[in-house]
Structure 1
Amino acid sequence: MRILPALLLAAAPPAHAIQTCELDGAHVNPANGHTTAGKSGLMRCKDAGSGVLQREQELRDGRFVGAVRFYRNGVLEREHAVNERGNRDGLAREYAATPGANNPLLREETLRNGSTVGLARAWYANGTLRRASFHGDDGREQAVAEFNERGQLAELRCAARPQLAPAADDAAWCGHRGAPAPVSLYDGRGALAGTRVFERGELRRRESYWDDGKPRESAEISTSGGGERSFARDGVKRRETLWVWQAGAGDAAKRRLTTLEREFHDSGTLLRERRWTPGERGAELAAEKRWYLNGQPREASEYIVEGGKTIRRDLHFHDNGQPSHDGRWLLAGRYEQQPLGIHRSFDEAGRLRAERHDDERGRITRERELDAAGAVVRDDAVFEDGSRKAFSR
């Protein structure tokens, strides 16, 4: 995230507010460098109409470096410091800016040249911890614990080692003390929303629940692979995915390769299945299947490689389970395919009723029709111009 220089922040108050600023009792204009040139001290800006303090900002030899504070209705709302590059640097805090003696702290973090580093914390207005996160030297968030207003754990993301103490006990929750650690997660009402199991910071099992306690999603993860499942509100499984881990080459991180996907109807009937075969270049689609709602197969495709070429064999079915079509296709590109060999069609009793012959270029060379008894009623040779004649043996 790009961090705006403090001078730009100072020069852009809300459109409806007119501010007057002073330094050591003398008027200055933060948008006019001539009025602040060479000066040092704390500039204070107030609402021109009410005189209520709105901002304080430190000057060093005419540059905005050091402390910055913003006020809402005269109550401290944000404070931080900026470095010579104009980026936030050091401890930063945000407050509720509520009038009176109590002004609850809402967020506290440490920044290094505009990026959050180390432990950052956020609180609800009642003082309950809302969120704790740890950021690496590159500013990336590595571990997170979130809580509801009751103080119950609501979300957890772990790192390879404990990082959230003393704000949160991720050493215990993330399984850094030996055995895998199960933890429960709760929603804002205090109801159980999910569970997690971590082992040395790595997620091993994840479950989430609908508001009535029935399973919504589940996942199991191991060092070799894992699986995910999702469920409808009535408990019916709607989707399932399995995968394996593939180690990256050199310093590349391991990647997840899907090996199986299944989709289910809201009745629980399996509708679609796809399988992949892991390889050096990733996962190659190996097979696809579809079903009718009555449970009978609808379509099945198999992908094979012959002579360096990918071929797909398609089988289609009537809703009684009998085949309706069988044929192969040469996959010449992502969206290009051509018929290959003999394509056959069948009636609802599974009897062969038609054949189409294609040459190596995907052109029709012969067509045959058969009756229900299996007798040939038409057998034509087909030519390039579309003309035909009876096939001669």
Structure 2
Amino acid sequence: MYFRSITAFCAALLCVGAAHAIQDCELNGESVNPNNGNTTAGKTGLMRCKDRDSGQLAREQELQNGRFMGLDRYYQKGKLQRERNVNERGNNHGLMRDFAPDGTVLYQATYDNGSEVGLTRRNHPSGALQRATYYSGSNQGELAYAELTPRGQLRRLRCGDKPLLAPLVDDAKLCGFGSSPAPVEMFNDAGVLQMRARYANGQRLRLEELYPNGQPERVEEIKDGQRSERRFAEDGVLRAELQWQLDGKTSSKTLEREFSERGSLVREQKWAERRAVSDASFYLNGQPKNRALYSRDGNTEYADETAFYDNGKPSRTGRYIQADRYNQTPVGTHQSFNQQGKLVGEAIYDNRGRISREREWDDAGKLLSDEEVFEDGSRKAYAK
């Protein structure tokens, strides 16, 4: 899409230039004005327009029975800049090429009623291949591409389900078609290795994105029906890990982990069958900090939550009805504990989230209060 935008932008510049420059046009030896349809009505041939001030050729357009169809050329300072063919709708149809002032081909593609089809080539100013792209047509996008640096090194690669880029690029080899998985290295314009990848029959099995020091920044891998992704700090410490279960062309997340700067686990989330199963966080000393276990009973979603002290002892527990990610209703018995693990508080909620009973104990286990709580907030102590 980036290159298509550039192409459209260049075309716009050409049109703007043509609009501001005064041109004299002729067709079959007669003077015509392309902005006045009466002068071109019913005519066939190649219209040639020159800049009035410089006398240099500015454009050539083919007419067929008064309609601009067929060959269409634009010139910059007398040098061919773009050559294309258009159909009766004015859409690109057939071969299109863009040129540098020295005549080097910068872009070459085939169009079908305005859509790129088949193999398209874009070159560096030197004429060396910059990007080979294979389009399916009908604006369905890119099926495969390969980008090369000015040094001729591979920069980016996308494989199709079969080799599509020959003879410009040997994607049969790069993408591992008909052979063992192929290792591929990709570089930036300065020649620094940026990525390593491995493909088999067009599928990317492994990708490593590298820091300038050569350490992995991100590693993505497909193995045994799962896709994993790991992210690292520049010093090599693992900072994040994700896993997906693959099912044909779809995938569902099963695991996500976050790690501290020291590499200790600080959060872990799990999913099964596209539903959250658990969410746990950890102190930097490795002890659990918070844990939520998710379950379902009929149409009701529950979250059983536990918070911990940094010594590993629970500080509070309770169940919630999970209306959505941000709305929870407490239900059942909720308890709180001291750092030694002794029960010091308890609240009982009805199925509407209202407290019906509340009790407190001291650290020695002595009951301090035991009250019934009414809907209006008033309380009544239970008899001892």
Q: Same fold (TM over 0.5)?
A: yes
Question: Match of 1:380?
Answer: 371
Distance 1:223 1:143 in 2: 25
Deviation at 1:215, TM superposition (A): 0.6
Deviation at 1:345, TM superposition (A): 1.1
Question: Match of 2:177?
Answer: 176
Question: Match of 1:115?
Answer: 115
Structure 1, unmatched stretches of 5+, are: 248-253
Relative to structure 2, which stretch is displaced further, 180-189 or 328-337?
A: 328-337
The answer as to whether partners of 2:134 and 2:142 remain within 8 angstroms in 1 is yes
Question: Match of 2:310?
Answer: 319
CA RMSD of aligned residues (A): 2.2
Distance 1:49 1:151 in 2: 42
Question: Match of 2:252?
Answer: 257
**Aligned residue runs from structure 1 range 183-198, under 5 A:** 183-198=184-199
Distance 1:10 1:193 in 2: 37
**Aligned residue runs from structure 1 range 1-393, under 5 A:** 12-13=16-17, 16-98=20-102, 103-139=103-139, 140-222=141-223, 224-247=225-248, 254-278=249-273, 283-392=274-383
Letter of the 2:178 counterpart: R
Question: Match of 1:251?
Answer: none
**1:282-341 deviations in Å (ceiling 9; x for gaps):** x00000011123322211100012244211001111223221110000123454321110
Q: TM-score by structure 1 length?
A: 0.90
Residues 335, 160 of structure 1: CA spacing in aligned structure 2 closer, same or farther, 3 A cutoff?
Answer: same
Match of 2:38, SS state, is: helix
The answer as to whether partners of 2:84 and 2:95 remain within 8 angstroms in 1 is yes
Deviation at 1:172, TM superposition (A): 0.9
Match of 1:268, SS state, is: coil
The answer as to whether partners of 1:10 and 1:30 remain within 8 angstroms in 2 is no
**1:178-203 deviations in Å (ceiling 9; x for gaps):** 21111111111112111111111111
Distance 1:17 1:182 in 2: 53
Residues 263, 17 of structure 1: CA spacing in aligned structure 2 closer, same or farther, 3 A cutoff?
Answer: farther
Deviation at 1:25, TM superposition (A): 3.4
Deviation at 1:46, TM superposition (A): 2.4
Letter of the 1:289 counterpart: A
Segments of 4+ in structure 1 off by > 4 A? 1-4, 7-12
Deviation at 1:10, TM superposition (A): 8.3
Match of 1:319, SS state, is: coil
Structure 2, unmatched stretches of 5+, are: none
Distance 2:360 2:168 in 1: 78
Match of 1:171, SS state, is: helix
Distance 1:92 1:307 in 2: 61
**1:77-117 deviations in Å (ceiling 9; x for gaps):** 1110001121101111111124xxxx211111111111111
Distance 1:358 1:85 in 2: 71
Question: Match of 1:250?
Answer: none
Letter of the 1:291 counterpart: F
The answer as to whether partners of 1:53 and 1:73 remain within 8 angstroms in 2 is yes
Letter of the 1:136 counterpart: S
Aligned residues: 377
Percent of residue pairs bearing the same amino acid type: 46
Residues 392, 23 of structure 1: CA spacing in aligned structure 2 closer, same or farther, 3 A cutoff?
Answer: farther
Match of 2:107, SS state, is: strand
Residues 18, 319 of structure 1: CA spacing in aligned structure 2 closer, same or farther, 3 A cutoff?
Answer: farther
Relative to structure 2, which stretch is displaced further, 190-199 or 330-339?
A: 330-339
The answer as to whether partners of 2:14 and 2:74 remain within 8 angstroms in 1 is no
Distance 1:76 1:368 in 2: 89
Letter of the 1:105 counterpart: V
The answer as to whether partners of 1:70 and 1:76 remain within 8 angstroms in 2 is yes
Residues 230, 8 of structure 1: CA spacing in aligned structure 2 closer, same or farther, 3 A cutoff?
Answer: closer
Residues 374, 268 of structure 1: CA spacing in aligned structure 2 closer, same or farther, 3 A cutoff?
Answer: same
Distance 2:265 2:57 in 1: 66
The answer as to whether partners of 1:314 and 1:328 remain within 8 angstroms in 2 is yes
Distance 1:82 1:150 in 2: 35
Distance 1:210 1:167 in 2: 30
Deviation at 1:14, TM superposition (A): 5.2
Relative to structure 2, which stretch is displaced further, 151-160 or 314-323?
A: 314-323
**1:334-381 deviations in Å (ceiling 9; x for gaps):** 543211101111222222111111012211001111101011101111
Distance 1:37 1:265 in 2: 74
The answer as to whether partners of 1:318 and 1:348 remain within 8 angstroms in 2 is yes
Distance 2:137 2:234 in 1: 43
The answer as to whether partners of 2:47 and 2:61 remain within 8 angstroms in 1 is yes
Residues 210, 331 of structure 1: CA spacing in aligned structure 2 closer, same or farther, 3 A cutoff?
Answer: same
Deviation at 1:28, TM superposition (A): 2.1
